[in-house]
Chain A
Amino acid sequence: MPFITRVVRPTARVVSVRGLANSAVRQKHTLPELKYGYAELEPFISGRIMELHYTKHHQTYVNSLNEAEEKYAAAVHANDVQAQINLQPLLKFHGGGHINHTLFWENLAPKSAGGGEPPSGELSKAIEKNWGDLANFKKTFNGYLAGIQGSGWSWLVKNKELGELEIISLPNQDPVVGKYVPIMGIDAWEHAYYLQYENRKAEYFGAVWDVINWKTAVERYSKA
């Protein structure tokens, strides 16, 4: 499955970038396919949360990203640098929202499909090397989640410079970029748990491990 699903949408007007003779055909972002039913992560994440999270929140990031990209293309076409810079926060927020949720759905799985089964192979060894065992890793990770002041995500990442696994937290919808490769992420926005867990977010952080798809994480690590 590609990292971000795209459909080719031929645009009426070919966008030409100054100095480039070739034209680029812009593509529209779409919601990626969810590989399980909304209710299949229950009782750890309710079907209602999954439905709203996927069909409303993620969809809004996708729509707003497409809008922002359209405006950005127009700004590029008009050679308007100021407008491009002005659009950057929107691209970052909605683009980040799309990237993060796409990664998140893939690194979740129903229990019947292996959700919660511990990682194997090199990833398992690397986790043990850094945190002793999986239980201590989860405890440390949950400390990062609990420490987020506002909306945000915590990630297990590979630091490409050091070749090491790390846990990081990022605010709002800032995606994992730069020297980090995302291996597994957990959404700590209130919309990810509030309908079921209300203010008891520690309970959500405890339960979500039962539907973590470590197979996806192992695969990402092998390519990182």
Chain B
Amino acid sequence: MQFSSLLFVQLPAFLSNLTNPSGPTPIVASSPSIVTSSASTMAAEAPKVAVAPLEKYMLPPLPYKYHELEPYISEQIMKLHHDKHHRAYVDKLNAAMEAHVKALAVSDVKAQIELQQAIKFNGGGHINHALFWPSLCPPGLLASEPNSAPLLIEALTAQFGSFDAFKERFKVLLLALQGSGWGWLVKTQRNVLELRTTKDQDPVTDDVSVILGIDMWEHAYYLQYWNDKASYVDGIWNIINWELLEARYDGTAAPTAL
């Protein structure tokens, strides 16, 4: 979806100065403060340029019905998690992005910096959940069988000793999270599989491929498992979409739509 009107940004003043031989030429590299003050005084005279229209982020539809992950994740949890929690991240991300474009348009750096945390938290929430939903699937489907991911299982076995040892290592890591966060299985550029966690909604942003993320926020399991998060982790292995994980591992998965 597009915003109804195009948004404009001011061409930075130091760029317009380059076309104005009579104006001062700021020394960009050694004196950034001059550029900043010059930008604010010159802003009114600078020509406007159109930037690409802002796309709104959308709540992705679930690839299964809310009740279909039962008995491992209840329908009520899935409804709240997808329709309330994920939707709130999407809505707040869109609001933050809209505010950011406005701040950019008036070269308000302070406002842009202030928005960074809202973009990180809500953008992270959107990215993480968008990765999470398709990595799950109803139990009993062929995709839920680990042998739907022969290459990945082979690599996990080689690296962790056995498939069970991998699950145990991941579980220890997930249960040790102190507060809200996510556990991740990623593949590095050198094809090494790595387990890690991120806090709150921090997304994985470095140069690795996410194979699987598991949501360890209490809202992901509390209505069904209460404080027994170990049972939630044990149960989730029955509803992993190994077909997709294999495609993420061998690089053939379509990029996650945001």
Residues of A that sit less than 8 Å from B by CB:
52, 56-57, 60, 89, 93, 149-152, 171-173, 189-191, 194-195, 198-199
A149 and B200 form a contact (CB under 8 A): yes
| A189 / chain B contacts, CB cutoff of 8 Å | 179, 218
Residue among B117, B201, B222 making CB contact with A190, cutoff 8 Å: B222
Which single residue of chain B is at the shortest CB-CB distance from A97? B178
Q: How large is the interface on B (under 10, 10 to 19, 20 to 34, 35 or more residues)?
A: 20 to 34
Contact call A172/B218, Cβ cutoff below 8 A: no
Q: Across the interface, do B227 and A191 meet the contact criterion of CB distance under 8 Å?
A: yes
- For the complex, give the distance between the alpha carbons of A191 and B199 in Å: 17
Report B181 CB to chain A, min CB distance, Å. Answer: 7
Known: A150-B217, A191-B222. 18 other contacts (CB 8 A): A56-B227, A149-B121, A150-B180, A150-B201, A151-B218, A171-B179, A172-B178, A190-B180, A190-B218, A190-B219, A191-B218, A191-B227, A194-B218, A194-B222, A198-B84, A198-B223, A199-B80, A199-B84
CB distance from B81 to the nearest CB of A (A): 9
Asked whether any CB of chain A lies closer than 8 Å to the CB of B85, the reply is yes
Contacts of A89 in B (CB 8 A): 178
Could you pull out 14 A-B pairs where Cβ atoms are within 8 angstroms? A52-B226, A52-B227, A56-B227, A89-B178, A149-B117, A150-B199, A150-B201, A151-B180, A172-B179, A190-B218, A191-B218, A191-B227, A194-B218, A198-B223
Interface residues of B in 193-236 (CB under 8 A from A): 199-201, 217-219, 222-223, 226-227
B131 at the interface (CB under 8 A from A): no
B88 on the interface (CB 8 Å rule)?
A: yes
Let me know if B179 and A150 touch, CB within 8 A.
Answer: yes
How far is B178's CA from A149's CA once the two chains are assembled, in angstroms?
14
Q: Is the CB–CB distance between A60 and B227 below 8 Å? A: yes
In the assembled complex, the CB of A56 is this many whole angstroms from the nearest CB of chain B, namely 4
User: Which of A57, A151, A191, A198 is close to B80, meaning CB atoms less than 8 Å apart?
Assistant: A198
- Within B16-51, the residues touching A (CB, 8 Å) are none
Shortest beta-carbon distance, A130 to chain B, in Å? 24
Q: Which residues of A contact B200 (CB under 8 A)?
A: 149-150
B residues lining the A interface (CB < 8 Å): 80, 84-85, 88, 117, 121, 178-181, 199-201, 217-219, 222-223, 226-227
A195 & B222 in contact (Cβ 8 Å cutoff): yes
Query: B117: nearest residue on chain A (CB-CB)?
Result: A149
Kindly list chain B residues whose C-beta atoms are within 8 Å of the C-beta of A93. 178
Chain B residues with CB under 8 Å of A152's CB are 179
A93 vs B222: C-alpha distance when bound (angstroms): 20
Residues of chain A lying within 8 A (CB to CB) of residue B217 = 150, 190
- Chain A residues with Cβ under 8 A from B201's Cβ? 149-150
Complex formed: what's the CA distance from A175 to B45 in Å?
A: 52
Known A-B contacts A194-B219, A199-B80; the reply to A151 vs B226 at CB < 8 A is no
C-alpha spacing A23/B219, complex, angstroms: 46
Contacts of A60 in B (CB 8 A): 227
CA distance A20 to B178 in the complex (A): 34
User: Please, how many angstroms separate the alpha-carbon atoms of A64 and B117 in the complex?
Assistant: 32
Cross-chain contact of B179 among A57, A151, A194, A198 (Cβ < 8 A): A151
Chain A contacts for B85, CB-based, 8 A:
199
> What B residues does A194 contact at CB under 8 A?
218-219, 222-223
Q: Known contacts A149-B201, A150-B201; is A195 also within 8 Å of B223 by CB?
A: yes
Write the nearest CB–CB distance from B199 to chain A, whole angstroms. 7
CA of A199 to CA of B248, assembled, Å: 31
